[in-house]
Structure 1
């Protein structure tokens, strides 16, 4: 029997503290593709859609792909953008006879009008297709999974790696479970446990032994017969009612023993997350200590990588913090790269000049000087002007074309600054090589990223350090004014107890 499956990708991690909004132009700048065009451009890369299509070909599905939409993390998604993209999915569901629905979602989307963008989408789909049509969903490891989401999607499968390198694998996992459901081999249900924390102690880092152990337990539970088990670390940048880590276990509801196993593993893992809440392994240097390391580091073998953690565009920060850059310049650090500085106005000004011109301009700090400093007056020489296009070749973006928009390399003192228009974090070596910068030839690489940079840059690094330069994604959670999150909540509150409970 040939099954007809509706597929879509709609992904955004929304930082509700950002002064900006994520509109349709933000999706267009990253990924906003429809139908066959989306399939053609994403089916051979490390994407959820590629995993969907792998299984579709194996199983002979008829696939109706509606839209692939992804925007760099940022402020809340505008109603216009949400309704446009969700509308394409909902319209296809209304007009088609379907055997199943397969969605690539993030799990931390916050639109202007709701706390839970994915929950709203799934509820609207249920109104159209009824309670029984199987819906399978993939999620980012940093999803905030609401009870509504677990109610309306029978199948939920999250990434198991951070840096995220298993998108295609996750897509295929969800697709295989959907096929078995449509063939009436299984009747899946999702069990959910929520932990009252902003996020897991190490933000889900799977290169940290204590956190990796959670995912080892996940894999063991799947090998023991559960259909899918996910640990979602949560996202600290959202001031919403469903904030916090969750554990999901998908089981065959036809098997009472599987249901009990799902409840047991969700309780166990939720308790382990809670009990490990004080065991943060990441060490954050202040700016002066990071710069002191840059001044003395022996880069004869490989460069020092400084992660500008708090200004990570991948967590919805602005990418225009100037504090670390100013300190590097003031200290006279040489052989350094600072990337990216997200400042479209500065990029446009630089493009009014020619390569080799000397310029003086204000750089960065345009959105909220309280988080990472105000504009920085910089004088330098333009080394490269570019349209910003590059094609990734690393574990995360290999084969995917992206663009920083109009971009320039400005050399100021001993620092090459990659000035860009479109907001992105550093995850791929081609984000430097495409602009004439060879990362392995540098003494210091100051990169705006929390963790994803490790997939491509850690293998070439002599040492990696994390710097909290005060940006919007600072690990100092008390600097963000939470008002909507449920209380008590660790670490905003510390004197309370928690016992894991589960629900569908």
Structure 2
């Protein structure tokens, strides 16, 4: 029997402290691909929909892929954008009617529209109202999801990433699709159980290069080998979102037809949650000040393996503005040279630089223009334009391999011996081609600053001599107390140090 499957990809991680909105034009500028266009772009790369199609081909499914919509983490999603993209998915489900057998969705889990706190729960609710209570829905999530009770009530299957840096997207898509296949053929009857932990996020934000955190995901994989345990998802949470249901969660998708599976799922979820709670103070990163990082960079020996400095707090991948100047200012003040800095997200500066020619010396105000209270204000700098570009690059690393993106109008601006990648469109550092495509070769640098928390490690750590991490006080600072939380349910760690260890199990 051939099953008719609807697939869609709607991903955003929303920083509720960020000014502005992630509007429809933002999605159009970054990724808003319809149907076959999306399949051509993402159908055979390291992406969830590629995994969906892998299993679909094996099973002989008839698949309708509706849309792939992604935008760099940022401010809350506008109602116009949400309604448009969710409407594409819901309209397709309505058109399919009774001929539809199942739905596979690639979601993030931390989307916050401007009209509600739970974008994924809202989308799933709208879909459930169309397809009825019995049609199976399978969902993939980023491991930084804030999985809510509403989400769990609206879908049967949830499978989250188990790597950070995220390198297992296609595998996770296959996992979710396999479970949907087994559901459609009557081999299983899945449900999902949720445990919430009163922590803004896991101690290391889900870093799977940290032994204590990696061990959690190793345990999850072992539990998935047990009878009736279909998927174990550890969601580290997203501390940059202020919503009532914020926090880390453990989800266990189990088979209702397996005796004792529900009870075992609860034991597994509680056990993992207990470990996460007990490890809440075991933070692996040593967060340096900009001045400390600058001195290390200045004195680092030049070789074919650079010092890599993570500008952690200004990570665009967590919704930070990507224009913080505190670290750059410290590097220039320290006299650090033969370095790179990528990216500085400043559309105004990029536009001004594009009005000149390569080789010209110009003076501009760079960075710090959106909210100088987080990470420093604009710097007036004089430098040489080394490279002008349209910003297009194609990744070749473990995260972006084969995927083409753009930074928009881009310039390499050399100031005091530091090559600064000035870009127009937000994006965190995930791939070596994000600098090499613009003539910045990391292996010829003394140091390279990357605006990223963790994803940079997949591509940049292997070519580095050393990695250090800087907290410049920007919007994604690890010092959560600097952000004005209002909505999150209290008490919660680390805002409240005397929080009681209580968790709520929610299932469908």
Give me the whole-angstrom Cα distance separating, in 2, the residues matched to 1:28 and 1:313: 18
Give me the whole-angstrom Cα distance separating, in 1, the residues matched to 2:30 and 2:148: 27
Q: How far did 1:300 drift? A: 2.0
Q: Is the 8 A contact 1:139 1:159 kept in 2?
A: yes
1:72 — aligned with what? 72
The answer to whether residue 272 in structure 2 is matched with residue 274 in structure 1 is no
Give me the whole-angstrom Cα distance separating, in 2, the residues matched to 1:332 and 1:290: 12
The answer to whether residue 15 in structure 2 is matched with residue 15 in structure 1 is yes
Equivalent residues in 2 for 1:215-234, closer than 5 Å: 215-225=217-227, 226-234=229-237
Q: How far did 1:501 drift? A: 4.0
Give me the whole-angstrom Cα distance separating, in 2, the residues matched to 1:24 and 1:372: 28
Match of 2:322 among 315, 319, 323: 319
Match of 1:121 among 112, 120, 123: 123
Structure 1 unmatched ranges of 5 or more: none
1:462 — aligned with what? 465
Q: Residue 408 of structure 1: SS of its match in structure 2?
A: strand
Q: Residue 227 of structure 1: SS of its match in structure 2?
A: strand
The answer to whether residue 296 in structure 2 is matched with residue 300 in structure 1 is no
What value does the CA root-mean-square deviation take over the aligned residues? 0.8
Give me the whole-angstrom Cα distance separating, in 1, the residues matched to 2:303 and 2:360: 31
Match of 2:486 among 478, 483, 487: 483
1:147 — aligned with what? 149
Q: Is the 8 A contact 1:109 1:116 kept in 2?
A: yes
Q: Is the 8 A contact 1:29 1:403 kept in 2?
A: no
Give me the whole-angstrom Cα distance separating, in 2, the residues matched to 1:216 and 1:4: 34
The answer to whether residue 387 in structure 2 is matched with residue 389 in structure 1 is no
Equivalent residues in 2 for 1:15-414, closer than 5 Å: 15-96=15-96, 97-225=99-227, 226-414=229-417
Question: 1:299–1:257: structure 2 CA closer, same or farther, 3 Å change rule?
Answer: farther
Q: Is the 8 A contact 2:124 2:151 kept in 1?
A: yes
Q: Is the 8 A contact 1:271 1:500 kept in 2?
A: no
Give me the whole-angstrom Cα distance separating, in 2, the residues matched to 1:279 and 1:155: 31
How many pairs are equivalent? 504
TM-score calculated relative to the size of structure 2: 0.98
Q: How far did 1:301 drift? A: 4.4
The answer to whether residue 455 in structure 2 is matched with residue 452 in structure 1 is yes
Give me the whole-angstrom Cα distance separating, in 2, the residues matched to 1:150 and 1:49: 21
Q: Is the 8 A contact 2:304 2:444 kept in 1?
A: no
Q: Residue 137 of structure 1: SS of its match in structure 2?
A: strand
Q: How far did 1:496 drift? A: 2.7
Q: Residue 80 of structure 2: SS of its match in structure 1?
A: helix
What are the superposed Cα offsets for residues 136-171 of structure 1, whole Å, 9 maximum, x if unpaired? 000001000000101111000000000000000000
Moved more, 26-35 or 317-326: 26-35
Give me the whole-angstrom Cα distance separating, in 1, the residues matched to 2:151 and 2:207: 24
Give me the whole-angstrom Cα distance separating, in 2, the residues matched to 1:116 and 1:283: 33
Structure 2 unmatched ranges of 5 or more: none
Give me the whole-angstrom Cα distance separating, in 2, the residues matched to 1:458 and 1:496: 36
Q: Residue 223 of structure 1: SS of its match in structure 2?
A: coil
Q: Is the 8 A contact 2:291 2:331 kept in 1?
A: no
Give me the whole-angstrom Cα distance separating, in 2, the residues matched to 1:224 and 1:134: 22
